[in-house]
Amino acid sequence: MDLHAAYGGVVPEIAARSHIEAITPVINQALQQACPCKNKNDERSDLSKKDGDMCDHWGQIDGIAVTYGAGLGGSLLVGVMAARTYAITKNKPLYAVNHVEGHIYANFLTDSLQGGSLQTYALRSRQPKFPMLGLIISGGHSQIVIWQGHFDYTLLGQTVDDAIGEAFDKVAKLLGLPYPGGPHIGQKAKAGDPFKYDLPKAKLKDPYNYSFSGLKTAVLRLAQAEIGKDHRFPSFQIAEKLSETQKANIAASFQRVALETVVDKVVTAYEEFQPKSVVIGGGVAASPELRRQLAERLPRLSDQQNGQAFPIEYQDAKLMTDNGAMIATLGCFQALYDKAPVDPYSLEIAPNLAMSS
């Protein structure tokens, strides 16, 4: 995030290069922290230890899971090549995981990190139940999916243009707020009136698809109008001309409408599919305003339909943004459900991987 913040968004080349630098140290650190052996420092360089004391930590590992898409090609390539290499040299089964599905599987992992130790990560004692409605909202994806069981799902809808997080990031840039935009919009919105401006919600033929590009353009036009300029006025000069009150009102109105757009779909799907669990993944899931809207609209529906309150459970905030633990969790389910591992000599990346079960 620090590397990308200066550019107002993820720069694919920088991301790929820092993946190369980080991947081996990160894997080694994870192995060291998770292994129950006593060798917590680099035991290979510690000559005082006898051979028998040495542990390379790989003995504890049953398999390797890696995401091969969707995502940025350069970064995926680094991860996939590392995973293929370890699968071959350490002789472990290799599981290929769809990144977007991985976001949902973070909900099957413990919600309490108990001091942050990797050794306390485990599958949740109370697992989400099927049918399970999943919402994935991040900087790269906006999908709504119904799962009837593990590996048995239907993609109901997705964005036809920008992802919702991307819209947050672009509006933040327009308002002169730092990257990543979501949390900064949320912060700014606290001082604003969410009903100050009437921004449009896209109406698409398919009830579960969304579009955010019209909303983004509407915010640009609104900001231009607020400072008394027309559509030719360059967007990068707008922020300095807006007052703090105008920025707060634009942030609050945009945030309300953008999140209402996805919450509307969740409510429609909830009525249609009567899920036993609703789970959410991706960076935007951390939004307090999203939680407020869901808490306001879902339990009421649930009360009417089942006569009982609907508990929405959220995953640990650390697991909502991109992380390796969610990929490991779905890999673990693949192994538990006897899915065949992939060939480590031929796994390719799939930057535009779609969701299909």
Residues engaged in binding ligand KG4 (CB under 6 A): 138-140, 165, 168-169, 180-183, 186, 282-284, 286-287, 321-322
Residue among 70 and 252 whose Cβ is closer to Zn ion? 70
Do the bridges between strand 64-69 and strand 132-137 make them parallel or antiparallel, or are there none, so unpaired?
unpaired
Question: Rounded to 5 degrees, what are φ and ψ at 101?
Answer: -65, -35
Is the separation of the CB atoms in 326 and 109 below 8 Å?
yes
Residue among 165 and 275 whose Cβ is closer to ligand KG4? 165
Distance of alpha carbon 64 from alpha carbon 234, whole angstroms: 48
Residue among 5 and 225 whose Cβ is closer to Zn ion? 5
Position of minimal CB gap to ligand KG4? 182
> Shortest approach of Zn ion to residue 258 CB, angstroms?
18
Q: Give me the residues that bind Zn ion (CB under 5 A), please.
A: 138, 322
Residue among 71 and 344 whose Cβ is closer to ligand KG4? 71
> Shortest approach of ligand KG4 to residue 90 CB, angstroms?
28
Residue among 211 and 302 whose Cβ is closer to ligand KG4? 211
> Shortest approach of ligand KG4 to residue 191 CB, angstroms?
16
Distance of alpha carbon 256 from alpha carbon 65, whole angstroms: 37
Look up residue 161 and give its two tokens. 């243009």
Classify 139 as helix, strand or coil: coil
> Shortest approach of ligand KG4 to residue 28 CB, angstroms?
24
The listed partner (ligand KG4, Zn ion, none) that binds 192, CB under 5 to 8 Å by sort, is: none
The beta strand positions in 211-303, using DSSP E, are: 277-281
> Shortest approach of ligand KG4 to residue 99 CB, angstroms?
8
The listed partner (ligand KG4, Zn ion, none) that binds 143, CB under 5 to 8 Å by sort, is: none
> Shortest approach of ligand KG4 to residue 181 CB, angstroms?
5
Residue among 180 and 341 whose Cβ is closer to ligand KG4? 180
Residue among 84 and 103 whose Cβ is closer to ligand KG4? 103
Cα-only R_g, the chain: 22
Residues in the chain: 357
Residue among 177 and 298 whose Cβ is closer to ligand KG4? 177
Q: Cα(first)–Cα(last) distance of the chain, in Å?
A: 32
Is the separation of the CB atoms in 173 and 225 below 8 Å?
no
Is the separation of the CB atoms in 151 and 355 below 8 Å?
no
Beta-carbon neighbour count of residue 54 at 10 Å? 12
> Shortest approach of ligand KG4 to residue 216 CB, angstroms?
13
Identify any residues that bridge with 277 across adjacent strands, giving them in sequence order: 132
The 10 Å CB-count burial string (b at 16+, else e) for 177-188 is bebbbbbbbbeb
> Shortest approach of ligand KG4 to residue 182 CB, angstroms?
2
> Shortest approach of Zn ion to residue 331 CB, angstroms?
16
**108: which residues sit within 8 A by CB, 6+ positions away?**
123, 124, 127, 128, 329, 333
Which of 102, 125, 166, 132 lies closest to 273, judged by CA?
A: 132
Concatenate the DSSP letters of all residues of 292-331 into one string.
HHHHHHHHHHHHHHHSS--------GGGTSS-HHHHHHHH
Which of 66, 51, 63, 118 lies closest to 90, judged by CA?
A: 63
Residue among 153 and 254 whose Cβ is closer to ligand KG4? 254
Is the separation of the CB atoms in 138 and 144 below 8 Å?
no
